[in-house]
Amino acid sequence: MVFVEPPPVIMPLRRWMTSDPLTAGPSETIREVLQRMHRHRVDVLPVTLGGSVLGLVRCTDLLHRAMTEGDSVDLQAMARLPVADFLSDAVCVPADLTEVEALHRMRAAGVAMLCVVEGERLIGTLSEGDLAGFLVERWTGGSARRSSSRSSNQLDVLLRVARESSRSLELATILQEITRHAVAALPIDQSALLLLPVKDSPILTVHSLYSIQEDGHPPLEELPLEGTLSGWVTLQRRSLRIDDLDQEARFHDSPERFSGRMRSLVSAPLLFRDECLGVLNFWCHRPHAYLDSDLELVELIAGHISAAIQSARRVEREQRLVEELREVNRIQDEFLAVATHDLRNALQGVLAYIGILAVRAGEDPVLAELVADLASASSGMKTLITDLHDLARLGMRAIRLHPTRLDLKNLALSVLDQHAEFAREEKVHLARPEQEPSLFLEADPIRLRQVLSNLVSNAIKYNRPGGRVEVSWRQEEQEAVLEVRDNGVGIKPEHQEAIFDLFRRVTSSSRKAEGSGLGLTITRQLVDLHGGCIELNSEVDRGSLFRIRLPLHRIPEEERAILEPLPFLPRPSA
């Protein structure tokens, strides 16, 4: 039989410790300590005061005392005693002791547990079983760390990583925060995020570098896939752990060694479905710093970063698409504004000739009727062109308001006079609120007239013979409230928001309503431009109420003059 000498074991105990060992305080009761032991499935706890070890409390000692004293012991009273009354001696060893030295110390002292300290402060405990497991795994070429404490620590790190990777779309920030949290479970001096700029690219770009010591980053921007350790991870789509880069012949000349300062490495590919997005690297300046289980943790972290990369790229694609759509809309609005401007100029000539024909028609009833029909059609075309022109300029944010102090009463009565003839034709009563008081506010008189005219025209158009339209106004605190009410056909609840959309005309009436379907869209945008809002209350067969709220004393400057009007788009006439 050939005896194989195990590899030398020189790992210090500090490597296996956690920063938060399970302990008890000297004033805690026996009941509290036993409950903690049961919850964490341990039978020995160190008792500390200010971080210093006072001794150990053992479940077996407590059980032995209760059983040997028999009926003379009051178990309830014993459970209320402080744990300091039941301490046994603890054997403390320094954190720089190796596993073999710790095992020798344990056998010499005849104890099954050691308290590992730095100075006077307890940093962890080691049992005989822990040390045996360490040595067996090192013997077989593996590595070990206390599974219970590591599992808790790694779970905490993963929860923090998941939270940080979902908080930001900036990959540099994500890497920095993830590294800051990962140092609680991993020895990290430097981290890097390397990405493939495009699929099947022959190079990796160094997207982000982060150093724990903030000692500066090397001027490294990209790496070839061939001959580099990150390239190997990318091409093989496999994780990599290197205990000592000085002894690694394959990547001895890799530029990722950062001038020889880094000795240990763990690297994981950033995989998403069947695609490799790049590589996540963690370095440590000490050799043999990482374990196989560390590599598993890095792979889980890489999974979160891969998801964050996909989210960032998806948002970037969506933002780019939004910008492209905005540019398409801008071009369309500009074309529409130019086209409607030219059409309106041409239509002015047509209307002038119609006026001449009306004069020459004279007493000829047939010709007069034809001219009247032509004038009506031309007037409708002018309204449509004007609406399209306004809509285009609103889309380009090129309408400039010219606010002035005006009396809302005078404006409303003027609009009602303007629609009096239309109301008579439709057999709708148009109420004139002569007794209403004046109400002054700052607004663009032309645009506010356009808003009120649209609402009054719709109230007449979508009414019934014998119906009624009322206009009223009042002041509420610092707002002017303008209402247009009718008792017409009304609007169904599911259609009330849709009427403000482009080219939407929703009505319960069986009659055909004329118009472009743009009026309410333009009305709402003009009200928004004034810094106000428009509300709608409507019931089918009972009528509708449109309510406009406008600020009394000022219009926000950023909405009052968004852009100067384009030179080829003159301000529409009233």
Q: Are 439 and 404 in contact (CB under 8 A)?
A: no
Distance, in Å, from the CA atom of 544 to the CA atom of 532, rounded to the nearest integer, reads 20
Cα 331 to its chain centre, rounded Å, is 30
Who contacts 334 (Cβ-Cβ below 8 Å, separation ≥6)? 392, 396
Q: Angle at CA 571, nearest 5°, toward 565 and 572?
A: 145
Strand pairing partners for 440? 407
The bridge status of strand 121-127 relative to strand 113-118 is antiparallel
DSSP characters over 190-256 = EEEEEE-SSTT-SEEEEEEEEETT-----S--EEESTTSHHHHHHHHT--EEES-GGG-STTTT-GG
- Answer whether 0.75 is exceeded by the pTM: no
Strand positions, DSSP E, 249-315: 264-272, 275-284
Residue pLDDT tens, the chain, 574 long: 344 444 444 567 776 664 467 888 888 888 888 888 877 777 888 998 877 889 999 887 887 777 776 566 677 788 888 888 888 888 998 888 887 788 888 888 888 788 888 877 788 888 776 666 666 655 554 444 444 445 555 666 667 777 766 666 677 777 777 777 777 677 888 888 888 888 888 888 777 777 755 454 455 577 888 888 888 898 989 998 888 887 777 776 666 655 457 788 899 999 888 888 889 888 888 888 887 778 888 888 888 888 888 888 888 888 888 888 887 777 777 776 667 767 777 777 777 777 777 777 777 777 877 877 777 777 667 766 776 767 666 665 656 778 899 999 999 998 998 888 889 988 999 988 877 888 999 998 888 988 998 899 889 988 888 999 999 999 998 899 999 999 988 888 887 877 877 655 555 444 445 555 677 888 888 888 888 999 999 888 888 999 999 998 755 444 444 333 333 333 333 3
Three-state SS for 414-427 is HHHHHCHHHHHHCC
> What is the DSSP secondary structure assignment for residue 96, as one 8-state letter?
T
